[in-house]
Amino acid sequence: MPSTPSQSAEDYLERIHELIEEKGYARVVDIASSLKVKQASVTNMVQKLGELGYLHYVKYRGLVLTDKGRAVACKIQQRHATLSRFFSLLGLDAETQQLDIEGIEHHLSPATVSCLADLAEFLEKNPDVLRQFTKSRKNSKTKPK
3-state secondary structure of 46: helix
Count helices and strands in the chain by DSSP H and E runs: 7, 2
Least distance from C-beta 87 to Fe ion, angstroms?
12
- Residue with Cβ nearer Fe ion (116 or 128): 116
- Residue with Cβ nearer Fe ion (17 or 80): 80
Q: Which long-range contacts (CB under 8 A, 24 or more apart) does 22-26 make?
A: 25/61, 25/62, 25/63, 26/62, 26/63
Kind and range of the H or E run holding 62: strand 62-65
- Residue with Cβ nearer Fe ion (27 or 106): 106
* Residues 62-91 within binding reach of Fe ion (CB under 5 A): 80
Least distance from C-beta 127 to Fe ion, angstroms?
27
Least distance from C-beta 105 to Fe ion, angstroms?
5
- Point out the residue whose Cβ comes nearest to Fe ion: 80
Residues that bind Fe ion (CB under 5 A): 80
